[in-house]
Amino acid sequence: MNAFSAGWLALREPFDREARAAAGASFDLKGLAARLRGEASALTVLDLACGTGANLRELAPRLGGVQRWTLVDHDPRLLAAVPGVSAPWARAAGLSMTTSAGGLCFEGPASRVEVELLRGDLARPLDPALPGRHRLVTASALLDLVSARWIDALAVRAHEAEAALLFALSVDGRALWQPSLRDDDGVHRLFAAHQRRDKGFGPALGGDAAQWAATRLSSLGYEVTQAASDWHIDGRDGAHSVAMLRAMVEGAAAAAIEQDPSAAPWIRDWTARRLDRLERTTLRVGHRDLLATLP
Ligand SMILES: C[S@@+](CC[C@H](N)C(=O)[O-])C[C@H]1O[C@@H](n2cnc3c(N)ncnc32)[C@H](O)[C@@H]1O
């Protein structure tokens, strides 16, 4: 399972949903949608690095009404998975789902969400027409992967287009294991350093990304609201949580060893001790959601 695989995105989605529900109280998304839609027939939304569409599934019901989304990702397998992953969600939400070449549409009694799936490399200079066509630019679990330069360029483009921005689930550098074990901090330090490696967008901002975006967007005249959207993973909650904890331990260890191969012996020892007690472990991972709107 790698950081962008459909398996990992499916594993994390319930934790993302819970975390975003906690942050959601800080954002009036229905009001935002009404303001951004104005006299237009539909609210237009651009979702950057959409994966299998988790951000759409989270936001579309909260925005409500008629929406037209463009989902962009560079991975054709993830784009191809969007209809299959979304079908059970649509059924549970009482929405009908239809698919067409290059897109899909969800319809319910009070909403209609048209979705265009677009393959694109966001590490290349962004097509200026993209933010220009959308009133809301959003991304989830993307910001900590990108560089300061990338955020600055997007902020300028979005500002030119007078678009609002909503960035969900950017890691903020906090991780709290309970019970704590020897070497938790050492592994986390190496993991955090690994997060700052270039993911194709220039040196990644990691835990500083949300604050960087907030400062840049404020300087452009945006009103910025931030809220905590932490993951709470509790091994006592059952198999899915244990699987998530296992993925977190193994993922952190692999990244830490890649960052400092000479540390492999004590990191492997930490991994074994962590895996030994997953059912009795909780982990809180700090995230931030950020909404930026123009007055
Ligand atoms: C952590 S995942 C988040 C996916 C989704 N937004 C979610 O919340 O489930 C990061 C996403 O960034 C996409 N990505 C990474 N580099 C990219 C690039 N250069 N261009 C477009 N998408 C990219 C990956 O394919 C993956 O879908």
Domain housing 124 = 6-172+203-232+287-293
SS3 track for 247-273: HHHHHHHHHHHHHCHHHHHHHHHHHHH
State the Cα–Cα distance between residues 131 and 234, nearest whole angstrom: 39
In one-letter notation, the amino acid at residue 229 is: S
Distance from residue 140's CA to the centre of ligand 1 (Å)? 9
Beta-carbon contacts of 202 under 8 Å, excluding residues fewer than 6 positions away, are: 146, 147, 148, 149, 150
Give the pLDDT of the chain (295 residues) as one tens digit per residue.
Answer: 567 899 999 999 999 999 999 998 899 999 999 999 999 999 999 999 999 999 999 999 999 999 999 999 999 999 999 999 999 999 999 999 999 988 999 999 989 999 999 999 999 987 777 777 899 999 999 999 999 999 999 999 999 999 999 999 999 999 999 999 999 999 999 999 999 999 999 999 999 999 999 999 999 999 999 999 999 999 999 999 999 999 999 999 999 999 999 999 999 999 999 999 999 999 999 999 999 999 9
Distance from residue 268's CA to the centre of ligand 1 (Å)? 29
Is there a domain that residue 99 lies in?
Answer: yes
Is there a domain that residue 43 lies in?
Answer: yes
**11, 74, 118: which to mutate for ligand 1, most atoms within 8 A of CB?**
74
CATH for 217: 3.40.50.150
Is there a domain that residue 210 lies in?
Answer: yes
Tokens matching residue 101? 């070449």
Is there a domain that residue 265 lies in?
Answer: no
**1, 2, 4, 59: which to mutate for ligand 1, most atoms within 8 A of CB?**
4
Is there a domain that residue 70 lies in?
Answer: yes
SS3 track for 180-247: CCCCHHHHHHHHHHHHCCCCCCCCCCHHHHHHHHHHHHHHCCCEEEEEECCEEEEHHHCHHHHHHHHH
Q: How many domains does the chain have?
A: 1
Q: Is the dihedral of CA 231, 189, 170, 227 positive or negative?
A: positive
Query: Is it true that the peptide bond before 179 is cis, omega within 30 degrees of 0?
Result: yes
- Tell me the angle at which helices 76-92 and 54-63 cross, rounded to the nearest 10 degrees: 40
Is there a domain that residue 259 lies in?
Answer: no
Is there a domain that residue 260 lies in?
Answer: no
Is there a domain that residue 182 lies in?
Answer: no
State the Cα–Cα distance between residues 66 and 254, nearest whole angstrom: 44
Nearest atom in ligand 1 to the alpha carbon of residue 201 is 19
Residue with tokens 């074994």: 272
156-171: per-residue pLDDT in tens? 999 999 999 999 999 9
Q: Is 81 in the pocket of ligand 1 (CB under 6 A)?
A: no
pLDDT value at residue 1: 59
Nearest atom in ligand 1 to the alpha carbon of residue 74 is 21
CA nearest ligand 1 atom 27, residue: 51
pLDDT value at residue 135: 97
Q: Is 50 in the pocket of ligand 1 (CB under 6 A)?
A: yes
Contact, 183 vs 267, CB < 8 A? yes
Q: Is 203 in the pocket of ligand 1 (CB under 6 A)?
A: no
197-230: per-residue pLDDT in tens? 999 999 999 999 999 999 999 999 999 999 999 9
**2, 18, 142: which to mutate for ligand 1, most atoms within 8 A of CB?**
142
- Comparing CA positions, the residue from 75, 73, 65 lying closest to residue 44 is 65
State the Cα–Cα distance between residues 1 and 80, nearest whole angstrom: 18
Q: Is 78 in the pocket of ligand 1 (CB under 6 A)?
A: yes
